[in-house]
């Protein structure tokens, strides 16, 4: 079993990994850049080391991170998600220095991170993919010919893309010609690669992803699916497990496809296979070679600690479960509480948290790194909190979500919490049948009131007085 793990990340996922290490008797090492000096993951880890003044550079310097792991006696690195988590070079450097990378092998990360290579691997394994280019596009003329053959709309995507970047829908040849240089420019800046490919746009699909776990002994299982259809500009807002929209037959089929995909590429550790579902058709979209932001809801319905399993697998141990051991119970929802102003085009709202109160009660979980007095820095992702609720049935899960959102207090910055309350009231959402067009099709949900109740105002005044007195 691993003895000491460096966490190459920050925020709530770093705190999540610290907690898993503590439960397993493993020492944890945090890294931080100057804006994160007082961050919660720094306070909670057994050791913490500065990576310099630059907000981002220290989290992206693969060699320096690995060197620090060696110097501090770590035998493994957990990359979390984002930053270097899907960087095959980072995994390769770990291997060279004798540090265990808690994730798949470098060649698997490279293969699945290259969207065209991933498509080829899935086709070879018999996993259905959307019609599109077999290789990266040579130029705009090749893109136009292919788009005309498969029909509009089409999606133009960065081969090394992710996180909703480097992707554009094109409804006509003119749009394709206009967007082609823009996607190449964005891909080059964000991912260091100008390679792009094209595939048929599946209009208004359901976005379904399957959590998988695989060990070094060749065993792979799935932990059922999550529904990520509630999203804005390809960024997920609310995730649900299991999907209220799949039939038992579809659930079984998509789980089997995910395991087939994992075995086809020799996958190890935790990963997610993402699909687009329209009617009875299910298409492979991509594979995320890391732990997902929304792993929490899978843990809630299955009882499996995914981060713990990641560490066990990286230690060379077999999975703790066989497929027949896995079942799910109830429904779980995760609300990504972002420091954004939905009424102002979701403009980021960074600043000092003047008051934070975490909701509680049965079936409520919060994963966060914020606290009262913490200042959200403007250099990173705007997500400041993950609110997770669970209940035995769909309706109770929705009601519990509404209650927990109402209980929660994050003052000092704007958040998306009130917007999610409006989504929970919507009849279409409550019906359990929706797709990726839900958010753009319901702009009226942004017409909520920002006015606070008298008790809220009184609490805010009391918090301001207390803060002033403390100074």
Write the burial class of residue 71 (CB in 10 Å: 0-12 exposed, 13-18 middle, 19+ buried): exposed
H or E, element range at 207: strand 206-214
Tokens of 1: 């079993």
CB atoms within 10 A of CB 105: 20
Backbone angles phi, psi at 224, to 5 degrees: 70, -170
- Residue 247 C-alpha from the chain's centroid: 25
Tell me which residue of 202, 149, 209 sits closest to 173, measured CA to CA.
Answer: 149
Strand partners, 10: none
Pairing of strands 165-170, 154-162: antiparallel
290 tagged catalytic: yes
Return d(Cα 448, Cα 429) in angstroms, integer: 17
Return d(Cα 269, Cα 319) in angstroms, integer: 9
Helix, strand or coil for residue 269? strand
Helix, strand or coil for residue 272? strand
Return d(Cα 21, Cα 358) in angstroms, integer: 23
Query: How do the residues of the chain divide into helix, strand and coil, expressed in percent and rounded to 5?
Result: 40, 25, 35
Return d(Cα 187, Cα 194) in angstroms, integer: 6
Catalytic residue (one of 10, 290, 365, 409):
290
Residue 138: DSSP 8-state: -
Tell me which residue of 285, 256, 291, 253 sits closest to 272, measured CA to CA.
Answer: 291
Return d(Cα 243, Cα 261) in angstroms, integer: 20
Q: For residue 199, what are the CA distances in angstroms to 122, 182, 409?
A: 15, 17, 43
Tokens of 460: 């805010």
Q: Please compute, for residue 10, the number of CA atoms within 13 A of its CA located in the half-sphere on the CB side.
A: 28
CB–CB of 284/275 below 8 Å? yes
Residue 132: DSSP 8-state: B
Return d(Cα 301, Cα 208) in angstroms, integer: 16
Catalytic residues: 290
């Amino acid at each position: 079993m691993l003895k000491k793990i460096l966490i190459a990340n920050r925020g709530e996922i770093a705190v999540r990994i610290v907690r898993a290490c503590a439960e397993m008797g493993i020492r944890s090492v945090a890294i931080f850049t100057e804006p994160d000096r007082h961050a919660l993951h720094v306070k909670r880890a057994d050791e913490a080391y500065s990576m310099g003044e630059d907000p981002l550079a220290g989290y992206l310097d693969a060699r320096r991170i690995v060197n620090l792991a060696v110097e501090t006696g770590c035998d493994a690195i957990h990359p979390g998600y984002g930053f270097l988590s899907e960087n095959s070079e980072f995994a390769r450097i770990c291997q060279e220095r004798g540090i265990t990378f808690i994730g798949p092998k470098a060649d698997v990360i490279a293969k699945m991170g290259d969207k065209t290579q991933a498509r080829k691997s899935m086709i070879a394994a018999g996993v259905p993919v959307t019609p599109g280019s077999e290789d990266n596009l040579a130029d705009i003329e090749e893109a136009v010919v292919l788009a005309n053959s498969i029909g509009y709309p089409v999606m133009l995507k960065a081969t090394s893309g992710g996180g909703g970047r480097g992707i554009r829908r094109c409804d006509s040849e003119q749009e394709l010609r206009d967007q082609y240089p823009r996607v190449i420019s964005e891909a080059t800046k964000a991912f260091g690669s100008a390679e792009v490919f094209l595939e048929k746009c599946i209009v208004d699909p359901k976005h379904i992803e399957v959590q998988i776990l695989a060990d070094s002994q060749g065993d792979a299982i799935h932990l059922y699916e999550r529904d990520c259809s509630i999203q804005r500009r390809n960024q997920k807002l609310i995730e649900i497990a299991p999907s209220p929209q799949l039939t038992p037959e579809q659930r079984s089929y998509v789980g089997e496809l995910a395991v087939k995909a994992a075995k086809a590429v020799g996958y190890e550790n935790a990963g997610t296979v993402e699909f687009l579902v329209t009617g009875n058709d299910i298409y492979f979209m991509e594979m995320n070679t890391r732990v997902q932001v929304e792993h929490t809801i899978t843990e809630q319905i299955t009882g499996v600690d995914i981060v713990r399993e990641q560490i066990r697998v990286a230690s060379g141990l077999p999975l703790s479960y066989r497929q027949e051991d896995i079942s799910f119970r109830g429904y779980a929802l995760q609300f990504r509480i972002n420091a954004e102003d939905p009424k102002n085009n979701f403009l980021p709202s960074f600043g000092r948290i003047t008051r934070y109160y975490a909701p509680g009660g049965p079936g409520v979980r919060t994963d966060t790194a914020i606290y009262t007095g913490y200042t959200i820095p403007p250099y990173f992702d705007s997500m400041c909190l993950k609110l997770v609720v669970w209940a035995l049935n769909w309706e109770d899960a929705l009601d519990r979500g509404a209650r927990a959102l109402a209980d929660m207090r994050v003052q000092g910055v704007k958040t998306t919490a009130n917007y999610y309350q409006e989504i929970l009231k919507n009849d279409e959402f409550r019906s359990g049948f929706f797709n990726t067009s839900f958010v753009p099709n319901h702009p009226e949900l942004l017409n909520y009131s920002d006015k606070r109740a008298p008790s809220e105002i009184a609490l805010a005044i009391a918090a301001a007085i207390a803060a002033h007195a403390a100074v």
